[in-house]
A = this chain, B = another copy of it.
Amino acid sequence: MRITDSTPKADGFYMPSELAEHRCTYLLWPERNDNWRAGAKPAQAAFKQVVQTIAKYEPVVLGVNKSQYAHVLEMNMPNVQVVEISNDDSWIRDTGATFVVDGLGHMRAVDWAFNGYGGLVNGIYFPWDQDDLIASKMCGIEGVDRYRLSNFVLEGGSVHSDGEGTILVTEETLLDPGRNPDMTKEQIEETLKEYLGAEKILWIPQGIYMDEDTNGHVDNICQWVAPAKVVLAWEDEENDPQHARSQAAYDYLSSETDAKGRPIEIVKIHVPNVVTITQEESDGVDIVEGTFPRNEGDRLPASYINYYNCNGAVILPTFDDPHDQEAIDTLQSLFPDKVIEPIYAREILLGGGNIHCITQQVPRP
């Protein structure tokens, strides 16, 4: 049911850390030919690998459009619940429900408005009506009540909760004119606190360079690895536009404390070398008016930070790059009890995001 006249914070609910125990992970099956090359088949193979890898650690619920349902069902993947969820694209991190818990065994969800990453101002596809219904469908399947904000636009990939009252965001996304242009920064901050059950918002200035699909989502540049401790996408080369962005994030976080007054420890993970779209890759995408183009030579927002924490493992995008091993080693040292599962993720990146963007956890309340 939709809960009216209350908020998660007022009801004692908050967004747990992604590192807290999960009941399951949701994904959506990629399909649209104007974003995923070659009939989406290469992307589907990569998504399938992500699904099967996560399913080794926790149940996966895989939402599929009617058109691909019978095909996906036939894969008969262990520990994967195939369900029907109509969608405009497969970024369930951004379109899915944000689950909140009360620490007493109860779970609810926040169902934000979604407008295709910027609506008619700078959205990347049209329409987005099915995407805006995904969160409610997850709530229907899970049997949890939801707080619906029909007038506040937010994608899940633009917030990271430490589960202890502090939320990481970027100004680049949350102050983007395509989201909530009539709200002040203070009003946005208050809304986040109220619906994520948080005390403090940390505003990193910008996300990854050329992350134009999402306008710089925080989940591609910075992620909690523990309370008061983050990993940050880093670029040593001062002439690369990413350097100034990473440095600004570093300087900001170094000057801040979390909701409990603790300074933020920052672990750098160097980004891979520049990844650009090939002609073959570009040619494989249907050109459609109103959909964000994938042109030959365009730089992609490649980053290791877009990994996903599931129970017992880190699902890490890799790029067949000299920096892959450093990312693996750093995360292994940060999570000595977890398995690091590297997955070559170029085909996901080509669609505009990565492994974190295509996953959404349901906590075990």
Report the minimum CB–CB distance from A132 to chain B (whole Å). 9
A130 at the interface (CB under 8 A from B): yes
Report the minimum CB–CB distance from A71 to chain B (whole Å). 11
Report the minimum CB–CB distance from A141 to chain B (whole Å). 5
Most buried by B among A66, A70, A133: A66
Interface size on A, residues (CB 8 A): 26
Are A136 and B73 in contact (CB-based, < 8 A)?
yes
Are B143 and A76 in contact (CB-based, < 8 A)?
no
Q: Cα distance A112–B83 when bound, in Å?
A: 18
| Contact pick for A1, options B77, B86, B140, CB 8 Å | B77
A322 at the interface (CB under 8 A from B): no
| Contact pick for A84, options B2, B81, B86, CB 8 Å | B86
Instruction: Note all chain B residues with C-beta closer than 8 A to A61.
Output: 140
A56 at the interface (CB under 8 A from B): no
A218 at the interface (CB under 8 A from B): no
A78 at the interface (CB under 8 A from B): yes
Instruction: Note all chain B residues with C-beta closer than 8 A to A136.
Output: 73, 82
- A81 touching B141 in the complex, CB below 8 Å, given contacts A130-B66, A133-B70: yes
A200 at the interface (CB under 8 A from B): no
A22 at the interface (CB under 8 A from B): no
Are A140 and B82 in contact (CB-based, < 8 A)?
yes
Give residues 1-15 of A contacting B (CB, 8 Å): 1-2
Instruction: Note all chain B residues with C-beta closer than 8 A to A85.
Output: 84
A137 at the interface (CB under 8 A from B): yes
Instruction: Note all chain B residues with C-beta closer than 8 A to A143.
Output: 59, 81
Give residues 279-338 of A contacting B (CB, 8 Å): none
Are A140 and B83 in contact (CB-based, < 8 A)?
yes
- A81 touching B140 in the complex, CB below 8 Å, given contacts A2-B76, A66-B66, A86-B66: yes
Binding site for B on A (CB under 8 A): 1-2, 59, 61, 66, 69-70, 73, 76-78, 80-86, 130, 133, 136-137, 139-141, 143
A and B contact pairs by CB, cutoff 8 A, 21 listed = A1-B77, A1-B78, A1-B80, A59-B143, A61-B140, A66-B86, A66-B130, A69-B86, A69-B133, A73-B133, A81-B141, A81-B143, A82-B136, A82-B137, A82-B140, A83-B140, A83-B141, A84-B86, A84-B137, A84-B140, A141-B141
